[in-house]
């Protein structure tokens, strides 16, 4: 990394204060795992190779439809956002890519690329936005975009998505995520079939514009902003879309976009089995699309999702390379701290899933030993893998305790002085 936002000597000094305790914890965990014939070095190496993209919109303070309470030193534009994203990666070494949202982050692609290169950051999936209007656009998305009854509005929405691909191609992205707010608020307002036909035709036009090595992710969501029906409302519809469009299309699973109590890990398994799992928007949820921090409410569910991913990894499923992205809205925390913590929680779930004794689990499943099958998962989940996560961070140049190191660095106070408060800013509720 040629430029850093957190001085290396601060990271080194903070690590020094924790080194002895960490070394002791790592050794103790290694001995414990060895008793189960697990080599801690193998797990640490795999964790160090697991990465998740941060969303550019996640480093600004989010809000609700009631209010937004800005934080200090909020990023004013995409270049400030990239600085904040760099801080997260410098401390966690788990987030080397950023997912952009257009038009929120629209600027000269050459400058974007140069800034990313300077910070050692790459660009993950591009996100289009046809759920709000820009001041200069000809046709409004009030009544829909890709599925709108008006052909000119649909064409405008298609054109916007193609522009996202062009910007992405110029900065090294390889995927486009399409989430749209199209739906209806009243029974009878829209003809479900005609609306979905129009949507599929628009998506086919976008698909045609994809470069050969690109992927197209469609993201389903049960409700909101439309409250009676949504065009891409669930994983079944999402699967139909991916299957209809072709091999470059697959499904994005946002953990918050399901009905309460939905068995998300089972959806993940189904999509893997039929080759249509494109990737994730990680977050957590209590009631709806809450966009809470990953692992903050239901860490066991996050683990169970990773249990399916690791199962697929070990089975060597062909073409299995889901995109890992975070999609959260931070209303009451410093967004940088939330994203640091979330990246760690995602890696934690991965590490725990790596510890599952898969041969034993299969044996219990074949013997119909439900209790021991469950216990096999729980045993892995109960293991405190923090020392593995810390070791992976430290070896890559990151912090043993990234949130404490971030606070010690004084970064937020520094940027608060450099970035005068601005009104507005983009929310983070996709
Ligand atoms: Mn999302």
- In the reported structure, the alpha carbon of residue 349 is separated from the centroid of ligand 1 by a whole-number distance in angstroms of 19
| 377 CA → ligand 1 middle, Å | 28
Dist. CA 424–CA 404, nearest whole Å: 30
Q: How many CB atoms lie within 10 A of CB 112?
A: 23
CA-to-CA dists, residue 207 to 131, 173, 398, angstroms: 19, 16, 39
User: CA 376 to CA 67: how far, in whole Å?
Assistant: 45
Ligand 1 centroid – CA 325 distance (Å): 9
Residue 398 structure tokens: 């990151």
Measured in Å, residue 282 CA sits from the centre of ligand 1 at: 8
Please give the pLDDT value at position 422: 63
The alpha carbon of 280 and the centre of ligand 1 are apart by a number of angstroms equal to 8
The residues near 298 (Cβ < 8 Å, ≥ 6 apart) are: 284, 285
Q: What's the distance, Cα to Cα, between the start and end of the chain in Å? A: 31
Which helix (H) or strand (E) covers residue 235, if one does? helix 235-245
Spacing, Cα 341 to ligand 1 middle (Å): 18
CA of 232 to the centre of ligand 1 (A): 13
The number of beta carbons lying within 10 Å of the beta carbon of residue 42 is: 11
- Using the mean position of ligand 1's atoms as its centre, give its distance from the Cα of residue 371 in Å: 35
Residues in the chain, overall count: 430
- 116 alpha carbon – ligand 1 mean position (Å): 23
Whole-number Å distance, alpha carbon 20 to ligand 1 midpoint, is 40
Residues 164 and 130: beta-carbon distance below 8 Å: no
**0.95 surpassed by pTM:** yes
Q: How far is the CA of 173 from the centre of ligand 1 (A)?
A: 18
C-alpha 430 to ligand 1 mean position (Å): 5
Residues 305 and 264: beta-carbon distance below 8 Å: yes
- Between the CA of 12 and the centroid of ligand 1 the distance, in Å, is 35
Q: How far is the CA of 255 from the centre of ligand 1 (A)?
A: 8
Q: How far is CA 272 from CA 269, 313, 333, in A?
A: 5, 10, 34
| Cα–Cα distance, 116 to 108 (Å, whole number) | 13
pLDDT string in tens for the chain (430-residue length): 569 999 999 999 999 999 999 999 999 999 999 999 999 999 999 999 999 999 999 999 999 989 999 999 999 999 999 999 999 999 999 999 999 999 999 999 999 999 999 999 999 999 999 999 999 999 999 999 999 999 999 999 999 999 999 999 999 999 999 999 999 999 999 999 999 999 999 999 999 999 999 999 999 999 999 999 999 999 999 999 999 999 999 999 999 999 999 999 999 999 999 999 999 999 999 999 999 999 999 999 999 999 999 999 999 999 999 999 999 999 999 999 999 999 999 999 999 999 999 999 999 999 999 999 999 999 999 999 999 999 999 999 999 999 999 999 999 999 999 998 765 555 544 4
Ligand 1 mean position to 100 CA, how many Å? 12
Using CA of residue 185, residue 188, residue 191, residue 193, what is the dihedral sign? positive
How far is ligand 1, taken at its centre, from the CA of residue 250, in Å?
A: 14
How many other β-carbons are positioned within 10 Å of the β-carbon of residue 243?
A: 15
Residue ranges of alpha helices (H) inside 250-383 are 264-273, 299-315, 335-354, 358-366, 370-382
Can you give the pLDDT at residue 175?
98
| Ligand 1 mean position, distance from CA 291 (Å) | 8
pLDDT of residue 420: 82
Residue 326 Cα to ligand 1 midpoint, Å, equals 8
Query: How many angstroms separate the alpha carbon of residue 44 from the centre of ligand 1?
Result: 29
- Tally of CA atoms within 13 A in the half-sphere of 428 that contains its CB: 28
Distance between Cα 36 and ligand 1 center (Å): 38
Q: How far is the CA of 265 from the centre of ligand 1 (A)?
A: 17
Would you state the pLDDT for residue 276?
A: 98
| CA of residue 192 to ligand 1 center, whole Å | 23
Contact 45, 351 (CB under 8 A): no
Alpha-carbon span 53 to 240, nearest angstrom: 26
The answer to whether 410 touches 87, Cβ cutoff 8 Å, is no
Q: How far is the CA of 281 from the centre of ligand 1 (A)?
A: 5
Closest CA to 289 of 219, 241, 337: 219
| Residue 224 Cα to ligand 1 middle (Å) | 12
Ligand 1: distance of its center to the CA of 327 in Å? 5
């Amino acid at each position: 990394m040629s430029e850093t936002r957190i001085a290396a000597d601060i990271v080194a000094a903070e690590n020094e204060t924790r080194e002895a305790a960490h070394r002791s914890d790592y050794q103790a965990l290694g001995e414990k795992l060895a008793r189960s014939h697990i080599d801690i070095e193998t797990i640490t190496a795999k964790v160090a190779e697991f990465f998740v993209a941060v969303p550019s919109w996640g480093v600004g303070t989010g809000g609700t439809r009631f209010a937004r309470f800005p934080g200090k030193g909020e990023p004013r534009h995409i270049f400030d956002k990239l600085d904040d994203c760099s801080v997260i990666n410098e401390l966690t070494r788990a987030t080397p890519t950023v997912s952009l949202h257009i038009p929120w982050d629209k600027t000269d692609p050459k400058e974007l690329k140069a800034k990313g290169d300077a910070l050692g950051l790459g660009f993950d999936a591009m996100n289009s936005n046809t759920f709000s209007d820009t001041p200069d656009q000809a046709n409004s998305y009030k009544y829909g975009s890709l599925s709108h009854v008006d052909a000119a509005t649909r064409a405008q929405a298609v054109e916007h998505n193609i522009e996202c691909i062009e910007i992405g191609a110029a900065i090294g992205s390889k995927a486009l995520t399409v989430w749209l707010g199209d739906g209806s608020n009243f029974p009878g307002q829209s003809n479900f079939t005609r609306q979905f036909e129009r949507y599929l035709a628009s998506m086919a036009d976008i698909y045609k514009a994809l470069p050969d090595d690109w992927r197209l992710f469609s993201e389903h969501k049960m409700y909101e902003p439309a409250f009676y029906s949504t065009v891409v409302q669930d994983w079944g519809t999402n699967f139909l879309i991916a299957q209809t469009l072709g091999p470059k299309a697959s499904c994005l699973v946002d953990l918050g976009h399901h009905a309460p109590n939905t068995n998300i890990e089972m959806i993940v398994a189904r999509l893997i089995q039929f080759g249509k799992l494109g990737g994730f928007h990680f977050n957590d949820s209590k009631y709806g699309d809450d966009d809470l921090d990953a692992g903050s409410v239901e860490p066991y569910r996050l683990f169970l999702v990773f249990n399916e991913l690791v199962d697929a990894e070990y089975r060597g499923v062909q073409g299995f390379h889901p995109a890992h992205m975070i999609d959260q809205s931070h209303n009451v925390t410093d967004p940088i701290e939330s994203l640091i913590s979330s990246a760690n929680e995602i890696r934690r779930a991965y590490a725990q899933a790596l510890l599952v004794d898969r041969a034993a689990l299969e044996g219990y499943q074949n013997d119909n030993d439900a209790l021991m099958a469950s216990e096999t998962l729980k045993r892995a989940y109960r293991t405190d893998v923090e020392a593995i996560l810390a070791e992976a961070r430290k070896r890559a140049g990151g912090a043993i305790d990234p949130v404490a190191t971030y606070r010690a660095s004084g970064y937020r106070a520094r940027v608060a002085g450099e970035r005068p408060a601005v009104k507005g800013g983009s929310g983070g509720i996709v």
